[in-house]
Amino acid sequence: MKRVLASAFVLSISSVSFAQVAAAQSADAPPNHDAPPPSVQLKDLQDKLEELKEKILAQHVHLADWSSAFFQTDEGAARLDLRFDDQVSSVFALTRTLVVLDGAVLSDRSDPSGANLDAPQVPVFQGQITPGDHTVQVLVGMRGSGFGVFTYLRDYKFEVRSSHSFTVKSGTTTRLDVAACEKESVTGRIEDRPAVCYEESMTNGLAPEKTQTPK
């Protein structure tokens, strides 16, 4: 309501013509033979009116900013909590993880040794996002990992590409867990097991998820 009133006030002031202001002042003021010529008086009135309009416009902008901040709500906004997890067995070791959201790279980690990418629940993106449809694309590189009679597994290298589309609703937080995982293989072949899994949930509100600090 305040924003509309401020706009109407600015428009009413700007619609007053220079001639009307000059006529009003000349009608009220007594004759002054030493006054500057009308053209000079009109120029002064124009300058004063422009200064007044600038002050009113500045107040209008300030009022609009204050109103926007005061009445801001969760409506029209959404939050995404995107995490990556390593759920593969000791038969595999991750060598690369790439996560892309709507064409933008969020995370690109690599380790040819496969020793440093096994951290659980790695946060990839935690923040506000536009409500609507989104797509996450994932690339996972793996290699076989084995000891003793299973050392031959180290020669196996795999690359899994996957995508997942999801919808984010206004005023909610979407939790999307992406994981390097293993699927059941009908053939029993090890090269058929690497996969990417998704788990999605939604809660009302935009508050970040609270995490407990280990004691």
Q: Please tell me the predicted confidence (pLDDT) of residue 2.
A: 34
Please name the amino acid found at residue 132. G
Q: How far apart are CA 59 and CA 25, in angstroms?
A: 26
Please report, rounded to a whole number, the percentage of residues in the chain having pLDDT higher than 90: 37
Q: Which residues contact 135 (CB under 8 A, 6 or more apart)?
A: 101, 102, 163, 164, 165, 166
Residue 158 near residue 194, CB atoms below 8 Å: yes
Q: How far apart are CA 47 and CA 45, in angstroms?
A: 5
pLDDT tens, position by position, 110-163:
988 777 777 777 899 999 999 999 999 999 999 887 666 566 677 788 899 999
Q: Please tell me the predicted confidence (pLDDT) of residue 33.
A: 58
Q: How far is CA 202 from CA 88, 168, 177, 212, in A?
A: 25, 8, 12, 20
Q: Please tell me the predicted confidence (pLDDT) of residue 26.
A: 52
Residue 88 near residue 180, CB atoms below 8 Å: yes
Q: Which three-class secondary structure string do you get for 60-73?
A: HHHHHHHHHHHCCC
Q: Please tell me the predicted confidence (pLDDT) of residue 71.
A: 38
pTM for the full predicted model: 0.59
Q: Is 102 left (phi over 0), alpha (psi -120 to 50) or beta?
A: left
Q: How far apart are CA 61 and CA 47, in angstroms?
A: 21
Exposure letters 116-137 (e unless 16+ CB within 10 A, then b): ebbeeebebbeeebebeebebb
Q: Please tell me the predicted confidence (pLDDT) of residue 212.
A: 42
Give the H/E segment covering residue 90: none
Q: How far apart are CA 109 and CA 139, in angstroms?
A: 10
Q: Please tell me the predicted confidence (pLDDT) of residue 136.
A: 98
Mean pLDDT throughout 200-210?
84
DSSP assignment letter at 51: H
Q: Identify the CATH class of 78-204.
A: mainly beta
Residue-range domain boundaries for the chain = 2-70, 78-204
